[in-house]
Chain A
Amino acid sequence: MTITQELITQHQLTFGEYAKIVALLGREPSYTELGVFSVMWSEHCSYKSSRIHLKKLPTEGKYVVQGPGENAGIIGIGDGWVVAFKIESHNHPSYIEPFQGAATGVGGILRDIFTMGARPIAVMDSLRFGNADQALSRRILAGVVQGIAHYGNCFGVPTVGGECVFEDCYAGNPLVNVFALGVCKANEIFYAKASGIGNPVIYVGAKTGRDGIHGASMASAEFTEESKQKRPNVQVGDPFLEKLLLEACIEAMKTGAIVAIQDMGAAGLTSSSCEMGSRGGVGIDIDLDRVPQREPGMTAYEMLLSESQERMLLVAEKGREDEVFHVFRKWGLDAVTIGTVTEDGKLRIRHHGQTMAEIPNRALADEAPKYDRPHNVKPYRKAPVDPPAAIPQSRDLTADLLTLVASPDLCSKRWIWEQYDFMVRTNTLAGPGSDAAVVRVKGTDKSIAMSLDGNGRYCYLDPREGAKLAVAECCRNLSTTGALPVAATNNLNFGNPERPEIMAQLVEAIEGIAEACAFFETPITGGNVSLYNETLGEGIYPTPVLGIIGLMKTAKPIPVSFQREGAHLVLLGGFGQTDPIQFGSSQYAKVIIKDLWGQPPKLDMAYEKRVHEAMREIVAQGLAESAHDLSEGGLAVALAESATSTTGAEVKVGHAAIAAFSLFGESPSRILVSTSSPKQIQSIALQFGIESPIIGVTIKERLQIGNEDHMLIDVATADLKHSFEDALPRLLKTQNAA
């Protein structure tokens, strides 16, 4: 087939990129080769717009065993054990087909973990949808949640936490970011680096079908009206098969016959083979006639670009194939030698005796174009800096609190997480609803704490500061449970990078993450970039999502909820700032004032870090009965979340020009601690140079917050809990009525 200009455009390659392909090959590519280049050089696979900026991220630290560049990052947790973890997006497919889009998102990231030899022991999800009052958003939400539940529950990995946010800008571009974490022994890590000339290349798992062809390219373009017709590009997942693949891979790895292994994710057979070859500096020959196929008559082009799920490619030691086959047979899975490792560094594809593609592996994996896209403009934002002329003084702050705890962003997500098996594998010490999830590592005395956080509103107002705040919040969450933050992964969700004001958002956010991760000593060990989250020219808020993990000794984590009446409440970090400009990014501004202005809350990283250190010391000394970090909704919402139906609090706050500022302001660096030893906590705080006012006590059945002059909020905790728990089911019931 002749390569026409039209064909090049259809493959989302520029003419400049095409010229580069010709130069690399020294000839015109074949149609199959064009397809292979188009997926490998897609934004999704090549990170061509973000690569030069991602280099700014800190990637090294004393716990890091494997940084970015492999299927997942790895950190050492001591005693010969390591943890593999990563986050990945499945945004575009989840809009087109929410159930399968989200399910295969879970499947993909799980394979990234167990391909490294690590058994997955936890999953978390960061979800963003359009406004909850829209039927489409609720339908996508329901589908995504069911998809995650379907895949994770059947596979047998607990979904231990996450976040779920609703905002207009995600209506046409929902975000589904899935984080997974696994454990293995340090001497049992597997890498995706092919080696050993003459070694067999073995295909295992599901058969190849026509599903998901060009999925990676789909994820690299804006949505248009036609995108909805791309449903066939969304893959279909089979968690049962994946579970078998997991067990078989882990068992096969123990034979010692496997040299390298990589999952077939985006761009399937193509990316797994050329990336393994490129990493090892070797070539790979593949005979497509031997690939297990779901249907007859597939072309080389289709097989190479298929994104059928639950497949792996591995390189075994020559002569030991039977050991590998034996294990896969035991688990009832296909395992076939489809090629060999060669020394010429080329990916060579044969089909029906003909050579269909012959491309240097490096050209595909490492020579992808890198763009320094224009970004020397102000990041896109439309919101004003100054607050509305008169911020309305609320007449009923109690009603405001009840409204806030029942708002879609802040309300209980129980309806979501009870559909996830968050306990399977019996490691979950703190599950959904905690500040950070905590899972123990059996066979050691250690546990891993993990937190996911992003804030699109903050980042929209200031991508750099917003990104830093996300890092700070994750680390604060971890410290609140007593864990030491050690490493991070990130998922960068942005609009169209070809628009300079969007590219500026991306660059600012990356630099913010870089600065904060360096400061908090949580190097980035991997992640994912999802661009072109735009529909008909409307982009999402810039939404970097951070996943940070921390280490702690296995022990019962500090709970969020008050444990008894009569405990003292200490506000570690102090009351924070009450500033009208920073108040514009708060949930109060969003939900009650229905506006957005100003700046995100001001973060002093040095102070924040001291708060974390003090908190960990407080946990270590066993002084905290409960602890909850302050974030969206500020002090009042944190108190409401800590209250139980039987235990509330009586609290005094400082005076502010507008009372709502001190109640609902979202100043960072603050943690609410209940304790019987407030003085000891204050002396620890003093050592670390942070404020620690005693703000009240826990009492029976009411939450009462006042300042020197007035009672500001007075509510029965049962009513608070009712509003908090009831909101989401009620919201979703409207859907059934509709």
Chain B
Amino acid sequence: MQTIKCNWDSGSQSVPPQIPPAPNQAHFPAAAPTSIAKLKSNPQMKVGIVVFPGSNCDHDAWYAINSNLHGNAEFIWHDSPTLGDAEAVILPGGFSYGDYLRCGAIARFSPVMRAVKEFAAVGGLVLGICNGFQILVEAGLLPGALLRNIDLKFHCQEVALRTETAHSPFTSKLHKGEILRVPIAHGEGRYFADEHTLDELEAEDRVAFRYLENPNGSARDIAGILNRERNVMGMMPHPERACDPLMGSVGGLGILESLLASTPVLAAR
């Protein structure tokens, strides 16, 4: 192998070592099923990022948490039957299983989703971003559906979001009404639900974010929603892409900081 040296080598200067490892079935030691709830203080909350075949924002979420927020994230392989000792779970963006059939429609059947559902049912924190939001909707963890953008085109752009509630583990570090600049990148992000559901979401303060300028035709400008118990959030915009000043905006930091700062209700089993 040739030695590569160029005149501007940084030498011993240290740089953030940030190449994520390959996801593996046995990445987290699976905890004994009898393990009891651990209440743990942060910032070392262990975040599990689920890797479906076709996830492609998994590395970005990993980088944002580990490198931008100095947190502790690891990958969970899609056919893992448990979440190991993860205290919060992120379903990342991408095209799980190619998004053939319908976005998220196949991913909801993968083994890890059973564990995610059980985790959510006992109060575990679950954040679905983009394709992750689509999966949560398909899995019935959040109401409504995500349809093709109204102009039938994929949109990659920065959008302005208004924070609609600070009352959730994902938005606790934000103020109601705070405007965040965060990118979107999706072809099927038009939030849809029947009027009754939309009224209910609003009445229960479960709309987390709205677009200031609706890019995709979402009902009532909705960009992100919470479940009734407020421990599951789905959003189409990508907070993990807006955590580094070099990338243009840091509008996503507050969301991930809120997550890391929250107290896990219950750790996974």
Instruction: Please tell me if A442 contacts chain B, counting CB pairs below 8 Å.
Output: yes
Q: Which of B56, B157, B187 contacts A155 (CB 8 A)?
A: B56
Q: B202: shortest Cβ distance to chain A, in Å?
A: 30
Contact A65 B4 (CB under 8 A): yes
Contact segment of A72-80, A375-383, A524-532 = A72-80
Q: A156: shortest Cβ distance to chain B, in Å?
A: 3
Instruction: Please tell me if B195 contacts chain A, counting CB pairs below 8 Å.
Output: no
Contact A445 B6 (CB under 8 A): no
Instruction: Please tell me if B64 contacts chain A, counting CB pairs below 8 Å.
Output: yes
Contact A420 B156 (CB under 8 A): yes
Contact residues in B for A419 (Cβ distance below 8 Å): 153-156
Cα A428 to Cα B246 in complex, Å, equals 9
Instruction: Please tell me if A99 contacts chain B, counting CB pairs below 8 Å.
Output: no
Contact residues in B for A421 (Cβ distance below 8 Å): 154, 156, 185
Knowing A79-B10, A156-B94, A426-B241 are in contact, say whether A254-B4 is a contact too (CB < 8 A). no
Instruction: Please tell me if B22 contacts chain A, counting CB pairs below 8 Å.
Output: yes
Cα A418 to Cα B184 in complex, Å, equals 10
Contact residues in A for B10 (Cβ distance below 8 Å): 78-79, 444-446
Instruction: Please tell me if B191 contacts chain A, counting CB pairs below 8 Å.
Output: no
Q: A675: shortest Cβ distance to chain B, in Å?
A: 22
Contact A156 B153 (CB under 8 A): no
Closest B residue to A553 using CB positions: B8
Instruction: Please tell me if A613 contacts chain B, counting CB pairs below 8 Å.
Output: no
Contact B56 A423 (CB under 8 A): no
Contact A82 B183 (CB under 8 A): no
Cα A238 to Cα B97 in complex, Å, equals 11
Q: Which of B54, B59, B63 contacts A154 (CB 8 A)?
A: B54
Contact B95 A154 (CB under 8 A): yes
Instruction: Please tell me if A464 contacts chain B, counting CB pairs below 8 Å.
Output: no
Q: Which of A240, A251, A331 has the most CB of B within 10 A?
A: A240
Closest A residue to B100 using CB positions: A240
Contact B63 A426 (CB under 8 A): yes
Contact A186 B4 (CB under 8 A): yes
Knowing A418-B157, A423-B156 are in contact, say whether A154-B99 is a contact too (CB < 8 A). yes
Contact B1 A440 (CB under 8 A): no
Contact B1 A186 (CB under 8 A): yes
Instruction: Please tell me if A24 contacts chain B, counting CB pairs below 8 Å.
Output: no
Per-residue B-contact encoding for A301-339, CB less than 8 Å = 1, 0 else? 000000000000000000000000000001110000000
Closest A residue to B58 using CB positions: A156
Knowing A149-B154, A443-B17 are in contact, say whether A154-B185 is a contact too (CB < 8 A). no
Instruction: Please tell me if B205 contacts chain A, counting CB pairs below 8 Å.
Output: no
Cα A331 to Cα B67 in complex, Å, equals 27
Interface size on B, residues (CB 8 A): 48
Closest A residue to B18 using CB positions: A442
Instruction: Please tell me if A257 contacts chain B, counting CB pairs below 8 Å.
Output: no
Instruction: Please tell me if A422 contacts chain B, counting CB pairs below 8 Å.
Output: yes
Per-residue B-contact encoding for A470-497, CB less than 8 Å = 1, 0 else? 0000000000000000000000000000
Instruction: Please tell me if B240 contacts chain A, counting CB pairs below 8 Å.
Output: yes
Contact residues in A for B203 (Cβ distance below 8 Å): none
Cα A418 to Cα B97 in complex, Å, equals 24
Instruction: Please tell me if A153 contacts chain B, counting CB pairs below 8 Å.
Output: yes
Q: Which of A78, A156, A250, A420 contacts B5 (CB 8 A)?
A: A78
Contact residues in B for A551 (Cβ distance below 8 Å): 6, 8
Contact residues in B for A332 (Cβ distance below 8 Å): 53
Cα A553 to Cα B10 in complex, Å, equals 9
Q: Which of A65, A331, A424, A556 has the most CB of B within 10 A?
A: A424
Q: B81: shortest Cβ distance to chain A, in Å?
A: 16
Contact A429 B247 (CB under 8 A): yes
Closest A residue to B4 using CB positions: A76
12 A–B contacts from the bound complex (CB under 8 Å): A77-B6, A153-B95, A154-B54, A154-B99, A156-B95, A240-B53, A240-B98, A240-B100, A418-B155, A420-B154, A421-B154, A421-B156
A contact set with B: CB distance below 8 Å: 62-63, 65, 76-82, 149, 153-156, 186-187, 189, 238-241, 243-244, 247, 250-251, 254, 330-332, 417-426, 428-429, 440, 442-446, 551, 553-556
